[in-house]
Amino acid sequence: MRIVIAGMGDVGYHLAKELSNEAYDIIAIDVDQQRLSHTDQMADILTINGTATSISTLKDAKVDKADLFVAVTSSQDANVASAILAKKLGAKKTIARIANAEYLSEEAGVNFKEVGIDFMIYPEELAAQETVNLIKRTAATDLLEFEGGKLSVMGIRLDKNAPVIDKSLTEVAHEYPNVDFRIVAIYRNFRTIIPSGRDKFFANDQVFVITKPEGIKMILKLAGKEDINFNNIMILGGSKIGRMVAELLEENMTVKLIESDEDKTFSLAGDLPDTLVIHGDGRDIDLLAQEGIIDVDAFVAVTEDAETNIITCLMAKHLGVKKSIALVDKADYVPLTQTIGLDSLINKKLIAANSILQFIRRGEILAQTVLEGIDAQIFEYNAQSNSPITKKPVKDLDFPREAIIGGVIRNDKSFIVVGDSQIKAGDKVVIFSLPAGVKKIEKLFK
C-alpha cells in the first residue's frame, strides 16, 4: 500500500513512525527540510522537500500511484487544496486535517467527497470527545469502548491502599475468581509490561484492564477507586476544545468556564446558555478559590499554553479536585502524567493520528488505537474462517510474547479470553500489543 503524507509535524511524524514498521510504501512531503531530516531516520520512507499544494511536488511523489493521500499540515487551506489536487491527479483515497467545524456540518450543504476529499479529521472535536469520555468514566486515565461498550479497555492508576498492591496476577485471579476482567498491560517507570501471572502490582502503577460492563465496578474497587458521579466541572480556556467540552456537558452538569480574553468571554457567554462563563486569569489561585474550585469534581485546562494547563491542573489537585485533565501540545509530555501526579493529559495531535490510523488499517482490522504516553497499541480484529487464529485454542497458538488477547465479541455477546478459549470465524477480537508483536499478530489473522 502506497501512502503519501503531506506535513511532518506531530501528526504526520506519528503516522509515519507507526506505519514505517509495517509493509507500507511511505512518501513524506514537507516544506521544512529539518523536519524531513528527522523523518529520514526512519526506515523505508522517501522524503520530498516541497509544498503539498504544488502539482509538480505531488507528481514527484507519484501521487497518481498512491492508495492514500493524507494532508496533515498546520494549514487547513493547504490540506483541503492538496487533497483535492491529489485526488484529481489519481490518488485513490484522500484525508484532510481541518480546523473548522463547519466543514463537518450537514447544514453546510457541501459534499466534500464530490470534490475529492474522502475523510476529514477535526482534532479539536476528537480531543473534546476524549475529554468528556474521561470525565464520564471518573476514575479512568484512559478509556476505549468496543461495540458500544460490550468490552472496555480501562487505564487506571493504582492507589497505595488498593487491595491488589504487592499481589501477583495469579494471586488476584484466585482471590477474585468471579470477576470478568483481564490485565493486558502495566505501565511502570516509563516501561510498558505485558504481564504474566508472576508479575506483581505496585502503588502508582498504571494498569490497563479489559472488562465487560458488569466488571467495571469491581475493578475500580480493586484499584482503590470510587466510581462517583461528577456534577461540577470547571474548564480553563475558551478554546475550541473548551467550548465543545462545555457544550457537551452543560445540559447534565454544572459547568464553569474561565477565559482571560474579555471579548471571547462575551462571545462564549452568548453561545453557552447553561455554562457560567467567567472573565479572569485561571492561574490566579485567589480567583479559582473565589469561584469554588474546592467544590468542583473535575478541572479541565485547555488553554493554548501547555505549561499553564499543567500548572493549573497541579494546583487543582493540590486543592483536592478529584480529577484533572490537561491539554498539551507536545507528545513528549504525555508519558509524564504518572510522574507528576496528573490524572490525564490530552494531546489532540496524537488523537488525530490515531483516528487516521484507524482509517488506514482496514480489512481484518476493525479498529486500532495507539495509547497516548505508552509504547503499546490496541487492535480490534475480525477473525476470518481460514485464518490461523481460528485453528487452535489460544494457549496452543504461536502468539507473540509482546501481545495478549483480551476479549472477544461474538454474536453481540462478549467474553474475556483465557487459555482454553477458541477464537471462531466472525469473532471480533481485542488485542493489546507492543510494536514488536504487531507483524506476528497480522499473520495469525491473515
CA distance from start to end of the chain: 16
- In this structure, is residue 338 part of a structural domain? yes
CATH number of the domain that residue 34 is part of: 3.40.50.720
User: What pLDDT does 363 receive?
Assistant: 46
Classify residue 36 as left (phi > 0), alpha (psi -120 to 50) or beta.
Answer: alpha
Name the strand (E) or helix (H) holding 38: helix 33-39
- In this structure, is residue 368 part of a structural domain? yes
Structure-block grid coordinates of residue 360: 488506514
Instruction: Output the CA torsion sign for 183, 132, 332, 72.
Output: positive
Q: How many domains in the chain?
A: 4
Same domain, 260 and 336: yes
Same domain, 252 and 284: yes
Name the strand (E) or helix (H) holding 135: helix 123-136
User: What pLDDT does 5 receive?
Assistant: 96
What digits encode the pLDDT tens for the residues 130-185?
Answer: 898 888 776 666 777 777 778 888 888 888 888 899 999 899 888 887 777 888 88
Q: Which of 406, 435, 428 is nearest to 185 (CA)?
A: 406
DSSP type of residue 376: -
- In this structure, is residue 127 part of a structural domain? no
Give the structural domain span for 206: 132-222
Same domain, 314 and 367: no
- In this structure, is residue 126 part of a structural domain? no
Mean pLDDT of 248-274: 94
E-only strand ranges, 308-402: 323-327, 344-346, 365-370, 377-382
Lowest-confidence segment of 69-83, 98-112, 138-152, 221-235 by average pLDDT: 138-152
- In this structure, is residue 12 part of a structural domain? yes
Q: Starting at the edge strand that comes first in sequence, how are the strands of the sheet with 206-211 ordered?
A: 142-146, 151-157, 206-211, 181-188, 191-193
What digits encode the pLDDT tens for the residues 332-384?
Answer: 666 666 567 677 888 888 888 878 877 776 545 555 565 655 667 788 888 88
Lowest-confidence segment of 84-93, 235-244, 259-268, 375-384 by average pLDDT: 375-384
- Residue that the C-alpha cell 480501562 belongs to: 154
CATH number of the domain that residue 207 is part of: 3.30.70.1450
Query: 222, 256, 283: which is the final residue of a domain?
Result: 222
Query: 175, 194, 222: which is the final residue of a domain?
Result: 222
> If 0-12 CB within 10 Å is exposed, 13-18 middle and 19+ buried, where does residue 305 land?
middle
Query: 121, 142, 157: which is the final residue of a domain?
Result: 121
Same domain, 64 and 27: yes
Structure-block grid coordinates of residue 56: 509538480
Same domain, 288 and 299: yes
Lowest-confidence segment of 47-56, 268-277, 311-320 by average pLDDT: 311-320
- In this structure, is residue 288 part of a structural domain? yes
Same domain, 201 and 269: no
Cα–Cα dist 15/18, whole Å: 5
Same domain, 332 and 357: no
Same domain, 252 and 319: yes
